[in-house]
Homo-oligomer: A and B are copies of this chain.
Amino acid sequence: MEPSIASPRVAEPEVASPQRRLDAFTHARLWKNPCGFAARFNYLALRYNQPLYGWVEERFGLSRPEFVILYSLGITDGVTASEIASSTAFPKNTLSRAVGVLAKRGVVRRGADATDRRAQPLHLTPAGQDLLAEAMPRFVALEEEMLEPLSLIEREQLSMLMAKVVLGMFHAGDKGE
C-alpha cells in the first residue's frame, strides 16, 4: 500500500536542513504521508482561505458563508440559496441566515422566481457589486502569488491535470453517489 503519489525529488533537499521541529513536522505531513495529494491540496486550501477570509472578516465584517454567497452571485447571478448550499456543502440554514444578513446590509436582494414562488433567486445590489469588486483582486492576487513558482506552461499542465481530477469527482459525486 504505497503512497499513490511518490515524494518528488524537489522536496528532498528541504529535509536536510529543517530549521525547527515544526518545520520538520509540517514537512513530514506534506511529504511523508500516505495521502500526499490530499495533504497538499488541503495545505493549499488552508493557506489560501485562512488569510483571505480573515481579511474579509476584518475589512467587511462578513463571515465566510456570507462572503461565499456574494462570490457565488458574482459568478452566476440569480442563483438560489439551495443551489449554493448543494454546490458548496454549506448547510442551508447557515446560508439562509447569511442571506438575511446580506439583505439587511443591502448588498444582496431576494428576487422572485416567476415559475416557482418558493424559490428566491438572489441578486447583487450595486453596493454588493462594489464590495465584491474591492475584494476580488485580493483573491486573484493570492492565487497568482501561489502559482508564481510555476512557468506558464507548467500552469497550463497543472490546470489540465486538476481539471481531470475535478471532473472525475464531479461526475462521480453529483450523479453516482
Contact = CB atoms under 8 A, between A and B. Distances in A.
Nearest to A159: B5
A112 interface: no
A137 B1 contact: yes
A173 B10 CA distance: 18
A40 B162 contact: yes
Counting chain A residues whose Cβ lies within 8 A of the other chain, the interface size class is: 35 or more
B43 A44 contact: no
A170 interface: yes
Contacts of A127: none
B44 A160 contact: no
A4 B147 contact: yes
A75 interface: yes
